[in-house]
Amino acid sequence: MSEETKKTKIGYYPGCAITKCSTSEEYGTSVLGVSRVIGPELEEIDDWNCCGASSGHATNHKLSTALSVRNISLAEKDGYDEVLAPCPMCSQRLIVSQDDVENDEKLRKEVEDAIEMPISRNVKVSNYLEIVKNYSMDEIAEKQKRKPEGLKVASYYGCLLVRPPKILKFDDPENPKTMDDIVKAIGAEAVDWEFKTNCCGGGFTLSRPNVVIKLTHDILEGAIDAGANAIAVACPMCHANLDMRQQAIEKEYGRRFNIPIVYISELIGLALGLKPKDLGMDKHFIDTGSVIDTFSDIEK
């Protein structure tokens, strides 16, 4: 990475789920913590709003588009060329909405009228894995302090990082590798498994818990059977469903998994020597101690 790109400030769009005091705050905490050590520099976009998430696009396409696009316009106003949305629900909504207005002049006008701002064509929206891959791989190698021993990680991407592939254009939608590469970069074993992009049930947490229980069960089982002792995620919804449901799954299926679900940013943080608590790793439902304990100082 050249000196110049390293210094580029990137607009930070946390989205509702990963801000402080939210269900997935540890994701935001660890993303910001890691960026402070290895960059790139992140600055929160002023006065961002909710992208509307699945409830938005599931019920009102125009509304959903406007809510998403407003944030991109705000980012441009603040002078950012690139925006990081660590939550894949957000990044996917932002990118798809950007694509929708790009290809539908009528929609574009309606949305501009609603958000009371011109629509930016130049801001690039990135997910967290892209940011790490594009800006921080060398820095991780440079600044790594601790290394895991015997940590076998199943990288779980879920739906929204890779689909729809024609619009998101990120990695192989059937067998993505970016997160696995990061896992390998910090010295853990990347487990090859079959459920990398299966759906966890996403937004049905409240409304259709039975669906979530089944889908998360299949994913957990797939990871364990492939020999993983941790699952890495980069999505607050995937995390919530996999982390919070393990008791219920045991009740339903009679199989105890007790497998820690960690954010990829937390793993990077541990490798950089950040304190687990500062990464929010005490906020998980399934204890992350077994993951933390695999890390030890690199002897230099």
Partner 1 sequence: MKIKITTEERKSDFAKEVEERSGIDVKKCYQCGKCTAGCPVAYEMDYMPNQIIRFVQLGLRQEALTSRTIWLCASCITCTTRCPKEVKIAELMDVLREMALEEGIANPMEKDITTFHEAFLNSVKKHGRISECGMLMEFKRKRPKAALKSALQDVADGSQLMMKGKLSLAPHDIKGKDNIKRIFEKLG
Q: Which residues bind partner 1 (CB under 8 A)?
A: 16-17, 19-25, 47-50, 52-63, 66-67, 70, 104, 110-111, 113-116, 159, 162-165, 173, 197-199, 201-211, 213, 215, 240, 244-245, 247-248, 283, 285
Q: Which is nearer to partner 1, 72 or 186 (CB)?
A: 72
Q: Which is nearer to partner 1, 135 or 263 (CB)?
A: 263
CA distance 234 to 229: 17
Compute the least distance from the CB of residue 137 to partner 1, in Å: 27
Compute the least distance from the CB of residue 38 to partner 1, in Å: 26
Is residue 84 helix, strand or coil? strand
Compute the least distance from the CB of residue 128 to partner 1, in Å: 19
Q: How is residue 248 written in tokens? A: 């219920």
Amino acid at 222: G
Q: Which is nearer to partner 1, 64 or 144 (CB)?
A: 64
Compute the least distance from the CB of residue 186 to partner 1, in Å: 26
Q: How far is CA 215 from CA 208, 251, 254, in A?
A: 11, 15, 15
CA distance 53 to 55: 6
Phi/psi of residue 126, nearest 5 degrees = -125, 150
Compute the least distance from the CB of residue 202 to partner 1, in Å: 5
CA distance 42 to 83: 9
Q: Which is nearer to partner 1, 25 or 43 (CB)?
A: 25
Nearest Cα neighbor of 261 from 146, 158, 178, 162 is 158
- Identify the DSSP state of 118: P
Q: Which is nearer to partner 1, 132 or 219 (CB)?
A: 219
